[in-house]
């Protein structure tokens, strides 16, 4: 998912997909021109614009908090979180691995809706306090409406359709009672596909009833859920397969190695040009020093190749690139993804 990186929140990389700008301005327009004028008629256009901006920022802040809750619990359970990204249909906390137990899966999934319920309760509480204290109606309505949206967000996410949080809770429950993570994922994905077809039907009904935008939106959400459910199951099967294959069973048992003092010019001319390999282990006798890849060489100016050595360019073994022959291919891939080797 291509995204614009905005920084870090609680140590997690945070960004927005390009599609997010579409939904941001749609919601801003909806709040400013439709929702808030209907809730509090008679205010100036400038006030409605301020209400729309504040409401939109509060809403997306709520989405970030929802995903941040997932990310924090995942990190506490030993799962590395790559990033939090907002996109057209919401947000996602991307992780490098799956939960290893049904209990972890349940905790990570359930905390998101709980955060949304907490935010909803807090905003409704502030709205009640504000109404009693005589705050401006614009402030009260914004708090109240965003609180309502957070209740809706929590309820929708608890629907038992993978990859929604409710679908992951369902997966955790089936996993717990059967002991079979693959079966649990298959059941949750099937539930997600059923939910997608329900949304397709509701969307079609909305369109034929004259609510074109609402109908298209429901169909779009259904399409996303169906595709994500299928992709989630396929990814799980792939990860399960890779976890059962050992590195020693797929590696080249006696790879061709090179010395650290070799120049990049000789490396290209004598090794990369005459073999099918895209990388070479770098050794000093029997001692591994690191690895060098064709991409690392290609990233450097060609005029540097005659004077720059492998030692100057390689990725060293102390940079987290070493695996054991008894490690699974899944572990190998995860190490590669986390390493600077490309």
Catalytic sites, residue numbers: 67
- The three-state secondary structure class of 100 is coil
Evaluate whether 53 touches 146 at the Cβ level (below 8 Å).
no
Cα dist. 327→242, 247, 252, 330, 341 in Å? 10, 6, 15, 8, 18
DSSP state, residue 314: S
Instruction: Show Cβ contacts of residue 127 under 8 Å, excluding neighbours closer than 6 positions.
Output: 140, 141, 143, 144, 147
Please tell me the distance from the alpha carbon of residue 134 to that of residue 141, in angstroms, as a whole number: 12
Per-residue tokens: 332: 């190998």
Please tell me the distance from the alpha carbon of residue 234 to that of residue 127, in angstroms, as a whole number: 45
Asked if the bond preceding 222 is cis, omega within 30° of 0, the reply is no
Please tell me the distance from the alpha carbon of residue 94 to that of residue 75, in angstroms, as a whole number: 11
Question: Can you give the C-alpha Rg of the chain in angstroms?
Answer: 26
Q: Which of 180, 107, 119, 165 is nearest to 146 (CA)?
A: 119
Please tell me the distance from the alpha carbon of residue 27 to that of residue 54, in angstroms, as a whole number: 11
- Beta strands 315-316 and 90-95: pairing type? unpaired
Evaluate whether 152 touches 145 at the Cβ level (below 8 Å).
no
Evaluate whether 327 touches 247 at the Cβ level (below 8 Å).
yes
């Amino acid at each position: 998912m291509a995204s614009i990186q905005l920084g870090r929140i609680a140590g997690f990389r945070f960004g927005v997909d390009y599609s997010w700008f579409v939904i941001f301005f749609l919601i801003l327009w909806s709040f400013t021109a439709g929702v808030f004028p209907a809730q509090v008629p008679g205010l100036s256009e400038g006030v409605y614009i301020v209400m729309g901006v504040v409401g939109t920022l509060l809403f997306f802040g709520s989405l970030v908090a929802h995903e941040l809750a997932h990310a924090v619990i995942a990190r506490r359970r030993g799962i590395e979180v790559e990033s939090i990204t907002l996109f057209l249909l919401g947000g996602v906390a991307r992780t490098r691995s799956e939960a290893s137990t049904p209990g972890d899966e349940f905790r990570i999934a359930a905390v998101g809706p709980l955060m949304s319920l907490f935010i909803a309760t807090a905003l409704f509480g502030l709205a009640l306090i504000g109404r009693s204290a005589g705050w401006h109606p614009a402030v009260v309505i914004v708090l109240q409406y965003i609180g309502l949206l957070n209740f809706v967000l929590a309820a929708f996410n608890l629907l038992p359709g993978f990859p929604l949080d409710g679908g992951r809770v369902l997966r955790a429950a089936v996993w717990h009672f059967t002991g079979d993570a693959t079966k649990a994922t298959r059941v949750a994905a099937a539930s997600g596909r059923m939910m997608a077809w329900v949304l397709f039907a509701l969307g079609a009904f909305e369109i034929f009833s004259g609510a074109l935008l609402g109908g298209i939106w429901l169909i779009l959400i259904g399409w996303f859920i169906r595709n994500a459910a299928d992709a989630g199951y396929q990814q799980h099967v792939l990860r399960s397969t890779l976890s059962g294959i050992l590195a020693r069973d797929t590696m080249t048992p006696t790879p061709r190695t090179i010395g650290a003092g070799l120049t990049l010019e000789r490396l290209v001319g004598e090794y990369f040009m005459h073999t099918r390999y895209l990388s070479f282990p770098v050794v000093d006798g029997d001692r591994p020093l690191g690895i060098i890849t064709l991409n690392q060489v290609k990233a450097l100016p060609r005029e540097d190749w005659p004077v720059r050595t492998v030692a100057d360019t390689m990725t060293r073994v102390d940079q987290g690139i070493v695996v054991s022959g008894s490690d699974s291919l899944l572990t190998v891939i995860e190490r590669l993804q986390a390493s600077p080797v490309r």
